[in-house]
Amino acid sequence: MSSPTRTPQLPDSTTTVPDRPNYAALTVLATCSFIYVTAEVLPVGLLPQISAGLDVTEAQVGLLLTSYAAVAAVTTIPMTALTMRFTRNRLLAGTLAVFVAAQLVAAFAPSLTILSVTRIFSAAAHGVFWAIVAPIAARLAPPGQSGKATAVVFTGSSLAMVLGAPIATVVGQATSWRVAVASVGGVGALSLICFLIVVPRLPVLPRDAAKTLGSQLGAAARQIRSRATLPGCLITLTAVVGQFAAYTYIAPLVRRDGGLDGRGLALLLLGFGVAGVLGNIIAGRFIDRRPDLVMMTIFGGMAASMAVLVGTPGLVVTVIAVLFWGLASSPMSLSLQAAVIRRAPRSQDAAASVQVVAFQIGIGSGALIGERLYGHGYLALLPLLGAIMTALALVLAYRAKETFPRHPVPHVDATHQPPPAPR
Protein backbone atom coordinates (compact mmCIF):
# COMPACT_ATOMS: atom_id res chain seq x y z
CA MET A 1 0.00 0.00 0.00
CA SER A 2 1.30 3.45 -0.80
CA SER A 3 1.59 6.10 1.85
CA PRO A 4 -0.95 8.93 2.20
CA THR A 5 -0.36 11.76 -0.22
CA ARG A 6 -1.14 15.41 -0.56
CA THR A 7 -1.54 17.79 -3.45
CA PRO A 8 1.88 18.67 -4.86
CA GLN A 9 3.33 22.12 -4.81
CA LEU A 10 5.70 21.49 -7.71
CA PRO A 11 4.52 23.11 -10.93
CA ASP A 12 5.95 20.47 -13.24
CA SER A 13 4.53 17.33 -11.63
CA THR A 14 1.20 15.66 -12.15
CA THR A 15 1.66 13.26 -9.27
CA THR A 16 0.96 13.65 -5.59
CA VAL A 17 3.78 14.17 -3.14
CA PRO A 18 3.94 11.70 -0.22
CA ASP A 19 3.75 12.96 3.35
CA ARG A 20 6.27 10.31 4.37
CA PRO A 21 8.54 7.84 2.55
CA ASN A 22 6.65 4.99 0.90
CA TYR A 23 8.71 2.28 2.62
CA ALA A 24 6.77 -0.62 1.06
CA ALA A 25 7.63 0.56 -2.45
CA LEU A 26 11.19 1.48 -1.45
CA THR A 27 11.70 -2.00 0.03
CA VAL A 28 10.59 -3.59 -3.24
CA LEU A 29 13.03 -1.37 -5.12
CA ALA A 30 15.75 -2.46 -2.69
CA THR A 31 14.90 -6.09 -3.50
CA CYS A 32 15.22 -5.30 -7.19
CA SER A 33 18.65 -3.74 -6.68
CA PHE A 34 19.57 -6.85 -4.68
CA ILE A 35 18.82 -9.22 -7.54
CA TYR A 36 20.50 -7.05 -10.17
CA VAL A 37 23.79 -6.94 -8.27
CA THR A 38 23.57 -10.64 -7.39
CA ALA A 39 23.14 -11.55 -11.06
CA GLU A 40 25.96 -9.27 -12.16
CA VAL A 41 28.58 -10.82 -9.85
CA LEU A 42 27.23 -14.40 -9.85
CA PRO A 43 29.79 -15.76 -12.39
CA VAL A 44 32.66 -14.86 -10.05
CA GLY A 45 31.67 -17.38 -7.39
CA LEU A 46 30.63 -20.07 -9.88
CA LEU A 47 33.39 -19.62 -12.44
CA PRO A 48 34.75 -23.21 -12.17
CA GLN A 49 31.25 -24.73 -12.39
CA ILE A 50 30.26 -22.69 -15.46
CA SER A 51 33.61 -23.46 -17.08
CA ALA A 52 33.18 -27.20 -16.61
CA GLY A 53 29.50 -27.18 -17.54
CA LEU A 54 30.01 -25.37 -20.86
CA ASP A 55 33.44 -26.90 -21.61
CA VAL A 56 35.24 -23.56 -21.87
CA THR A 57 38.17 -22.02 -20.03
CA GLU A 58 37.79 -20.08 -16.82
CA ALA A 59 39.29 -17.03 -18.55
CA GLN A 60 36.47 -17.12 -21.09
CA VAL A 61 33.89 -17.30 -18.33
CA GLY A 62 35.57 -14.37 -16.61
CA LEU A 63 34.79 -12.23 -19.65
CA LEU A 64 31.09 -12.46 -18.71
CA LEU A 65 31.65 -9.94 -15.93
CA THR A 66 33.78 -7.62 -18.05
CA SER A 67 31.36 -7.65 -20.99
CA TYR A 68 28.40 -7.03 -18.65
CA ALA A 69 29.89 -3.74 -17.45
CA ALA A 70 30.80 -2.75 -21.02
CA VAL A 71 27.28 -3.37 -22.36
CA ALA A 72 25.69 -1.49 -19.45
CA ALA A 73 28.00 1.45 -20.07
CA VAL A 74 27.29 1.59 -23.82
CA THR A 75 23.52 1.12 -23.69
CA THR A 76 22.48 3.15 -20.64
CA ILE A 77 22.23 6.59 -22.26
CA PRO A 78 20.49 5.61 -25.53
CA MET A 79 18.14 3.15 -23.82
CA THR A 80 17.20 5.71 -21.17
CA ALA A 81 16.56 8.26 -23.92
CA LEU A 82 14.42 5.83 -25.94
CA THR A 83 12.24 5.07 -22.92
CA MET A 84 11.84 8.62 -21.60
CA ARG A 85 8.10 8.79 -22.43
CA PHE A 86 7.24 5.54 -20.69
CA THR A 87 5.43 5.77 -17.36
CA ARG A 88 8.18 5.36 -14.77
CA ASN A 89 6.66 2.44 -12.88
CA ARG A 90 5.87 0.56 -16.11
CA LEU A 91 9.36 1.16 -17.45
CA LEU A 92 10.98 -0.24 -14.34
CA ALA A 93 8.59 -3.20 -14.41
CA GLY A 94 9.66 -3.76 -18.01
CA THR A 95 13.33 -3.86 -17.07
CA LEU A 96 12.51 -6.45 -14.40
CA ALA A 97 10.60 -8.56 -16.93
CA VAL A 98 13.58 -8.50 -19.31
CA PHE A 99 15.89 -9.39 -16.43
CA VAL A 100 13.75 -12.37 -15.36
CA ALA A 101 13.48 -13.68 -18.93
CA ALA A 102 17.25 -13.35 -19.42
CA GLN A 103 17.99 -15.31 -16.23
CA LEU A 104 15.61 -18.13 -17.12
CA VAL A 105 17.06 -18.48 -20.62
CA ALA A 106 20.58 -18.33 -19.18
CA ALA A 107 19.77 -21.25 -16.87
CA PHE A 108 19.26 -23.45 -19.93
CA ALA A 109 21.99 -21.94 -22.14
CA PRO A 110 23.69 -24.74 -24.10
CA SER A 111 26.81 -22.72 -24.86
CA LEU A 112 28.87 -19.79 -23.66
CA THR A 113 27.66 -17.80 -26.66
CA ILE A 114 24.00 -18.14 -25.65
CA LEU A 115 24.87 -17.37 -22.04
CA SER A 116 26.73 -14.24 -23.18
CA VAL A 117 23.72 -13.09 -25.20
CA THR A 118 21.42 -13.42 -22.19
CA ARG A 119 23.89 -11.36 -20.17
CA ILE A 120 23.75 -8.66 -22.86
CA PHE A 121 19.98 -8.33 -22.43
CA SER A 122 20.33 -8.34 -18.65
CA ALA A 123 23.06 -5.69 -18.79
CA ALA A 124 20.95 -3.44 -21.03
CA ALA A 125 18.07 -3.66 -18.55
CA HIS A 126 20.57 -3.12 -15.73
CA GLY A 127 21.69 0.23 -17.16
CA VAL A 128 18.15 1.57 -17.50
CA PHE A 129 17.21 0.31 -14.04
CA TRP A 130 20.08 2.10 -12.31
CA ALA A 131 19.51 5.26 -14.35
CA ILE A 132 15.88 5.60 -13.21
CA VAL A 133 15.74 3.95 -9.79
CA ALA A 134 17.18 6.91 -7.84
CA PRO A 135 14.77 9.45 -9.41
CA ILE A 136 11.91 7.02 -8.73
CA ALA A 137 13.00 6.63 -5.10
CA ALA A 138 13.10 10.41 -4.76
CA ARG A 139 9.47 10.62 -5.94
CA LEU A 140 8.44 8.11 -3.27
CA ALA A 141 9.54 10.41 -0.43
CA PRO A 142 8.72 13.96 0.67
CA PRO A 143 10.99 16.83 -0.40
CA GLY A 144 14.13 16.86 1.70
CA GLN A 145 14.14 13.09 2.26
CA SER A 146 15.22 11.87 -1.17
CA GLY A 147 18.65 10.89 0.15
CA LYS A 148 17.11 8.75 2.87
CA ALA A 149 14.81 7.08 0.32
CA THR A 150 17.71 6.40 -2.03
CA ALA A 151 19.71 4.92 0.85
CA VAL A 152 16.92 2.39 1.47
CA VAL A 153 17.02 1.30 -2.17
CA PHE A 154 20.82 1.06 -2.32
CA THR A 155 20.87 -1.07 0.82
CA GLY A 156 19.66 -3.85 -1.47
CA SER A 157 22.89 -3.73 -3.46
CA SER A 158 24.88 -4.01 -0.23
CA LEU A 159 22.80 -6.98 0.88
CA ALA A 160 23.55 -8.62 -2.46
CA MET A 161 27.20 -8.75 -1.42
CA VAL A 162 26.25 -10.02 2.04
CA LEU A 163 23.63 -12.62 1.09
CA GLY A 164 22.93 -12.74 -2.63
CA ALA A 165 26.31 -13.64 -4.07
CA PRO A 166 27.33 -16.03 -1.22
CA ILE A 167 23.98 -17.85 -1.27
CA ALA A 168 24.04 -18.14 -5.06
CA THR A 169 27.55 -19.58 -4.83
CA VAL A 170 26.52 -22.11 -2.17
CA VAL A 171 23.46 -23.16 -4.19
CA GLY A 172 25.52 -23.50 -7.36
CA GLN A 173 28.19 -25.56 -5.65
CA ALA A 174 25.63 -27.83 -3.97
CA THR A 175 23.55 -28.35 -7.12
CA SER A 176 24.67 -26.68 -10.35
CA TRP A 177 25.27 -23.19 -11.65
CA ARG A 178 22.08 -23.52 -13.71
CA VAL A 179 19.98 -23.93 -10.56
CA ALA A 180 21.65 -20.88 -9.05
CA VAL A 181 20.89 -18.74 -12.11
CA ALA A 182 17.31 -20.01 -12.26
CA SER A 183 16.90 -19.22 -8.55
CA VAL A 184 17.98 -15.62 -9.13
CA GLY A 185 15.43 -15.43 -11.94
CA GLY A 186 12.75 -16.82 -9.63
CA VAL A 187 13.47 -14.20 -6.97
CA GLY A 188 13.33 -11.61 -9.74
CA ALA A 189 9.88 -12.85 -10.77
CA LEU A 190 8.62 -12.55 -7.18
CA SER A 191 10.07 -9.05 -7.00
CA LEU A 192 8.25 -8.12 -10.20
CA ILE A 193 4.94 -9.31 -8.78
CA CYS A 194 5.49 -7.33 -5.56
CA PHE A 195 6.50 -4.30 -7.59
CA LEU A 196 3.28 -4.39 -9.59
CA ILE A 197 1.27 -4.59 -6.35
CA VAL A 198 2.88 -1.93 -4.13
CA VAL A 199 4.57 0.66 -6.34
CA PRO A 200 2.15 3.47 -7.24
CA ARG A 201 1.66 4.88 -10.70
CA LEU A 202 4.40 7.36 -11.54
CA PRO A 203 3.46 9.32 -14.68
CA VAL A 204 6.09 10.89 -16.84
CA LEU A 205 6.69 14.43 -15.68
CA PRO A 206 5.43 17.06 -18.16
CA ARG A 207 8.93 18.32 -18.79
CA ASP A 208 10.01 14.80 -19.78
CA ALA A 209 6.91 13.95 -21.82
CA ALA A 210 7.65 16.84 -24.18
CA LYS A 211 11.14 15.56 -24.97
CA THR A 212 11.97 13.69 -28.19
CA LEU A 213 14.64 11.02 -28.62
CA GLY A 214 16.95 13.56 -30.19
CA SER A 215 16.42 16.05 -27.40
CA GLN A 216 17.10 13.37 -24.80
CA LEU A 217 20.34 12.29 -26.45
CA GLY A 218 21.25 15.95 -26.66
CA ALA A 219 20.37 16.34 -22.98
CA ALA A 220 22.66 13.46 -22.08
CA ALA A 221 25.43 14.95 -24.21
CA ARG A 222 25.01 18.30 -22.48
CA GLN A 223 25.01 16.58 -19.09
CA ILE A 224 28.34 14.94 -19.94
CA ARG A 225 30.00 18.31 -20.40
CA SER A 226 27.88 20.45 -18.07
CA ARG A 227 29.15 21.98 -14.87
CA ALA A 228 26.14 20.39 -13.18
CA THR A 229 27.05 16.76 -13.95
CA LEU A 230 30.65 16.57 -15.17
CA PRO A 231 32.36 17.10 -11.78
CA GLY A 232 30.25 14.39 -10.15
CA CYS A 233 30.96 11.96 -12.98
CA LEU A 234 34.71 12.64 -12.86
CA ILE A 235 34.70 12.07 -9.11
CA THR A 236 32.65 8.89 -9.65
CA LEU A 237 35.08 7.55 -12.25
CA THR A 238 38.14 8.32 -10.11
CA ALA A 239 36.76 6.71 -6.97
CA VAL A 240 35.26 3.62 -8.65
CA VAL A 241 38.48 2.81 -10.54
CA GLY A 242 40.31 2.82 -7.22
CA GLN A 243 37.64 0.79 -5.46
CA PHE A 244 37.39 -2.01 -8.01
CA ALA A 245 41.10 -2.25 -8.78
CA ALA A 246 41.52 -3.40 -5.18
CA TYR A 247 38.13 -4.92 -4.32
CA THR A 248 38.15 -7.33 -7.26
CA TYR A 249 41.13 -9.04 -5.62
CA ILE A 250 40.20 -8.66 -1.98
CA ALA A 251 40.42 -12.44 -1.47
CA PRO A 252 44.15 -12.78 -2.33
CA LEU A 253 44.85 -9.56 -0.45
CA VAL A 254 43.43 -10.79 2.86
CA ARG A 255 44.95 -14.22 2.28
CA ARG A 256 48.36 -12.57 1.95
CA ASP A 257 47.94 -10.07 4.79
CA GLY A 258 45.98 -12.07 7.35
CA GLY A 259 46.37 -15.67 6.23
CA LEU A 260 42.60 -15.94 5.79
CA ASP A 261 41.23 -18.58 3.49
CA GLY A 262 38.25 -20.89 3.26
CA ARG A 263 35.71 -20.30 6.03
CA GLY A 264 37.70 -17.43 7.55
CA LEU A 265 37.72 -15.61 4.22
CA ALA A 266 33.99 -16.19 3.77
CA LEU A 267 33.26 -14.77 7.22
CA LEU A 268 35.38 -11.70 6.57
CA LEU A 269 33.65 -11.04 3.26
CA LEU A 270 30.33 -11.44 5.05
CA GLY A 271 31.52 -8.90 7.60
CA PHE A 272 32.50 -6.55 4.76
CA GLY A 273 28.93 -6.68 3.47
CA VAL A 274 27.33 -6.29 6.89
CA ALA A 275 29.53 -3.27 7.56
CA GLY A 276 28.40 -1.91 4.19
CA VAL A 277 24.75 -2.14 5.17
CA LEU A 278 25.54 -0.25 8.37
CA GLY A 279 27.39 2.34 6.30
CA ASN A 280 24.33 2.85 4.11
CA ILE A 281 22.14 3.36 7.16
CA ILE A 282 24.51 5.91 8.69
CA ALA A 283 24.98 7.79 5.43
CA GLY A 284 21.24 7.83 4.85
CA ARG A 285 20.72 9.70 8.13
CA PHE A 286 23.04 12.55 7.17
CA ILE A 287 23.13 12.71 3.39
CA ASP A 288 20.21 15.14 3.12
CA ARG A 289 21.81 17.53 5.64
CA ARG A 290 25.53 17.43 4.81
CA PRO A 291 26.08 15.54 1.54
CA ASP A 292 29.50 17.13 1.00
CA LEU A 293 30.76 16.01 4.42
CA VAL A 294 29.31 12.51 3.93
CA MET A 295 31.04 12.16 0.57
CA MET A 296 34.43 13.31 1.83
CA THR A 297 34.12 11.03 4.86
CA ILE A 298 33.42 8.09 2.54
CA PHE A 299 36.48 8.78 0.38
CA GLY A 300 38.70 9.42 3.39
CA GLY A 301 37.63 6.15 5.02
CA MET A 302 38.18 4.19 1.81
CA ALA A 303 41.63 5.69 1.24
CA ALA A 304 42.74 5.05 4.83
CA SER A 305 41.53 1.45 4.93
CA MET A 306 43.14 0.53 1.61
CA ALA A 307 46.39 2.27 2.59
CA VAL A 308 46.60 -0.01 5.63
CA LEU A 309 46.44 -3.04 3.33
CA VAL A 310 49.44 -1.94 1.23
CA GLY A 311 51.78 -3.66 3.68
CA THR A 312 51.23 -6.95 5.49
CA PRO A 313 49.59 -5.73 8.72
CA GLY A 314 48.69 -9.10 10.18
CA LEU A 315 45.37 -10.74 10.96
CA VAL A 316 43.78 -8.31 13.45
CA VAL A 317 44.64 -5.12 11.58
CA THR A 318 43.63 -6.69 8.26
CA VAL A 319 40.20 -7.62 9.62
CA ILE A 320 39.64 -4.14 11.07
CA ALA A 321 40.79 -2.47 7.84
CA VAL A 322 38.53 -4.62 5.65
CA LEU A 323 35.49 -4.04 7.86
CA PHE A 324 36.13 -0.29 7.85
CA TRP A 325 36.57 -0.45 4.06
CA GLY A 326 33.15 -2.05 3.74
CA LEU A 327 31.60 0.53 6.08
CA ALA A 328 33.04 3.44 4.09
CA SER A 329 32.67 2.19 0.52
CA SER A 330 29.12 0.87 0.47
CA PRO A 331 27.34 4.28 0.61
CA MET A 332 29.56 5.64 -2.18
CA SER A 333 27.24 4.79 -5.06
CA LEU A 334 24.05 6.12 -3.45
CA SER A 335 25.78 9.33 -2.34
CA LEU A 336 27.26 10.00 -5.77
CA GLN A 337 24.01 9.42 -7.64
CA ALA A 338 22.00 11.47 -5.14
CA ALA A 339 24.42 14.35 -5.76
CA VAL A 340 24.14 14.11 -9.53
CA ILE A 341 20.33 14.18 -9.62
CA ARG A 342 20.26 17.09 -7.14
CA ARG A 343 22.47 19.06 -9.49
CA ALA A 344 20.17 18.39 -12.45
CA PRO A 345 16.61 18.30 -11.03
CA ARG A 346 14.98 19.06 -14.40
CA SER A 347 16.74 16.22 -16.21
CA GLN A 348 17.28 13.61 -13.53
CA ASP A 349 17.08 10.58 -15.82
CA ALA A 350 19.63 12.01 -18.26
CA ALA A 351 21.99 12.98 -15.45
CA ALA A 352 21.58 9.64 -13.67
CA SER A 353 22.20 7.71 -16.90
CA VAL A 354 25.46 9.60 -17.47
CA GLN A 355 26.52 8.84 -13.89
CA VAL A 356 25.68 5.13 -14.36
CA VAL A 357 27.91 5.08 -17.44
CA ALA A 358 30.75 6.67 -15.46
CA PHE A 359 30.26 4.08 -12.71
CA GLN A 360 30.29 1.14 -15.16
CA ILE A 361 33.40 2.47 -16.92
CA GLY A 362 35.02 2.76 -13.50
CA ILE A 363 34.13 -0.85 -12.64
CA GLY A 364 35.45 -2.22 -15.92
CA SER A 365 38.60 -0.10 -15.91
CA GLY A 366 39.40 -0.81 -12.27
CA ALA A 367 38.93 -4.56 -12.67
CA LEU A 368 41.03 -4.58 -15.85
CA ILE A 369 43.88 -2.60 -14.25
CA GLY A 370 43.73 -4.87 -11.22
CA GLU A 371 43.92 -7.99 -13.41
CA ARG A 372 46.96 -6.63 -15.24
CA LEU A 373 48.82 -5.78 -12.04
CA TYR A 374 47.86 -8.95 -10.17
CA GLY A 375 48.67 -11.10 -13.21
CA HIS A 376 52.20 -9.70 -13.24
CA GLY A 377 52.77 -10.28 -9.54
CA TYR A 378 52.09 -6.77 -8.22
CA LEU A 379 49.33 -7.59 -5.73
CA ALA A 380 50.57 -5.02 -3.20
CA LEU A 381 50.06 -2.23 -5.75
CA LEU A 382 46.31 -2.80 -5.86
CA PRO A 383 45.43 -1.30 -2.44
CA LEU A 384 48.05 1.40 -3.06
CA LEU A 385 46.36 2.34 -6.33
CA GLY A 386 42.96 2.22 -4.61
CA ALA A 387 44.16 4.49 -1.80
CA ILE A 388 45.67 7.00 -4.23
CA MET A 389 42.60 7.15 -6.46
CA THR A 390 40.12 7.54 -3.58
CA ALA A 391 42.36 10.16 -1.96
CA LEU A 392 42.32 12.00 -5.29
CA ALA A 393 38.52 11.72 -5.32
CA LEU A 394 38.51 13.24 -1.81
CA VAL A 395 40.56 16.21 -3.04
CA LEU A 396 38.27 16.66 -6.04
CA ALA A 397 35.20 16.53 -3.79
CA TYR A 398 36.70 19.11 -1.43
CA ARG A 399 37.57 21.42 -4.32
CA ALA A 400 34.08 21.08 -5.80
CA LYS A 401 31.81 21.13 -2.75
CA GLU A 402 29.02 22.60 -4.89
CA THR A 403 28.82 19.15 -6.54
CA PHE A 404 27.10 17.91 -3.37
CA PRO A 405 24.26 20.38 -2.67
CA ARG A 406 21.71 19.87 0.09
CA HIS A 407 18.82 20.80 -2.21
CA PRO A 408 18.09 20.65 -5.97
CA VAL A 409 19.88 23.36 -7.93
CA PRO A 410 17.75 24.05 -11.02
CA HIS A 411 19.76 27.00 -12.24
CA VAL A 412 22.77 24.81 -13.13
CA ASP A 413 20.70 22.21 -14.96
CA ALA A 414 22.29 21.85 -18.38
CA THR A 415 19.02 21.07 -20.12
CA HIS A 416 17.01 23.85 -18.52
CA GLN A 417 16.83 26.84 -20.80
CA PRO A 418 16.00 30.17 -19.13
CA PRO A 419 13.16 32.18 -20.59
CA PRO A 420 14.13 34.71 -23.27
CA ALA A 421 14.77 38.23 -22.11
CA PRO A 422 11.90 40.64 -22.77
CA ARG A 423 12.30 42.80 -25.83
The per-residue pLDDT for range 322-331, each reduced to its tens digit, is: 999 989 988 8
Task: List the single range of 257-266, 313-322, 407-416 with lowest mean pLDDT.
Answer: 407-416
Pinpoint the alpha helices (H) of 46-107. 47-54, 58-82, 88-107
142 versus 350: which is more confidently predicted? Answer: 142
Q: Is the pLDDT of residue 348 over 70?
A: no
Terminal CA-to-CA distance of the chain, rounded, Å?
51
Return the CATH number of 16-210, one of 2.60.40.420, 3.40.50.720, 3.90.550.10, 1.20.1250.20: 1.20.1250.20
**Other beta carbons less than 10 A from residue 206's beta carbon:** 11
Residue 345: its pLDDT value, please?
55
CA distance 284 to 137: 13
- Cα torsion angle, 226, 228, 234, 237, sign: negative
CA distance 304 to 295: 14
Residue 417: its pLDDT value, please?
41
> 0.85 exceeded by the pTM?
no
Q: Is the pLDDT of residue 197 over 80?
A: yes
Q: Is the pLDDT of residue 62 over 70?
A: no
Decide: helix, strand or coil at residue 109: coil
Average pLDDT, the chain: 79
Residue 214: its pLDDT value, please?
61
Q: What's the pLDDT tens digit per position in 5-60?
A: 333 333 344 456 667 788 899 999 999 999 998 998 887 667 678 888 999 876 57
Q: What's the pLDDT tens digit per position in 117-171?
A: 999 999 999 888 987 887 888 888 887 777 778 778 878 877 787 678 778 877 8
Cα dist from 379 to 385, 391, 407, whole Å: 10, 19, 42
Spell out the CATH class of 217-408.
Answer: mainly alpha
Q: Provide the pLDDT confidence category of residue 256 given band limits of 50, 70 and 90.
A: confident
Q: According to CATH, where is 1.20.1250.20 located in the chain?
A: 16-210, 217-408
Residue 5: its pLDDT value, please?
33
Residue 204: its pLDDT value, please?
72
158 versus 106: which is more confidently predicted? Answer: 106
Q: Provide the pLDDT confidence category of residue 205 given band limits of 50, 70 and 90.
A: low
**Other beta carbons less than 10 A from residue 107's beta carbon:** 20
CA distance 11 to 372: 52
- The whole-number average pLDDT for the span 177-206 is 90
CA distance 235 to 108: 40
Element (H, E) at 123: helix 112-139
CA distance 123 to 116: 10
Q: What's the pLDDT tens digit per position in 371-422?
A: 778 778 888 898 999 999 999 999 988 887 666 665 555 544 444 443 333 3
Residue 107: its pLDDT value, please?
94
